[in-house]
Amino acid sequence: MVREKAPENAALRLSLYLRYLREMGEEESISSEQLAQLLGTSGVRVRKDLSYFGQFGTPGKGYTVGKLREQISKVMGLDRIWTIALVGVGKLGTALLGYPGFRKSGFHIKVGFDVKPNKIGRKIAGVPIHHPYQMPRIIREQKIHIGIIAVPAEAAQEAADLLIISGIKAILNFSPARITVPFYVKLRNVDFASQLEVIPYYIVNR
């Protein structure tokens, strides 16, 4: 039987399930209803999300936390280390370099790129910084998997193009610019300003 393809929102919810499971003991048990309460959703939704990826737990008995955490990690590819190239080492980029949560989740920012001469050749938070024109060679040599863009809007498309030329197939864009990528490159945009601008709407229209 061909399994129904999971929608992207289901994968996003899996990451939230995993976040809560990481805070629990290996041998603890949890039901779909309990997991749903933590996220403010329904047990039906939790069971449906998990069903896209296989058989989890025992009907009527719930899930063993350690095993479910391991299974979700495997489904999401988080049972391995993912290496990252960061483009743009300004205030935001520097903050990303120093964020300890990446390593806890299996993400390792291995190299940074910036055009400013006072940063090139240095290490920031233990990460070596290079000129972007060295990107193709360094990314291929170090087998980098993911690119993060944290440059000003006017430089975002060029940064994306360089990452793609270098062989990167997944990009997380923190720039406010909307960039274009080929169909085979997965792009996710993180726009802090637009997300913040939505908040007053919900306050005013409660």
Residues placed in the known binding site: 88-93
Based on DSSP, count helices (H) and strands (E) in the chain, helices before strands. 9, 9
Question: Which residues are documented as binding site for NAD(+)?
Answer: 88-93
Q: Are 144 and 172 a contacting pair, CB within 8 Å?
A: no
SS (H, E, C) 83-145: EEEEECCCHHHHHHHCCCHHHHCCEEEEEEECCCCCCCCCEECCEEEECHHHHHHHHHHCCCC
Q: Which of 72, 66, 64 is nearest to 26 (CA)?
A: 66
Helices 8-21 and 65-75: crossing angle in degrees, nearest 10, is 140
Q: CA torsion 166→168→174→178, rounded to 10°?
A: 80
Amino acid letter for position 18: L
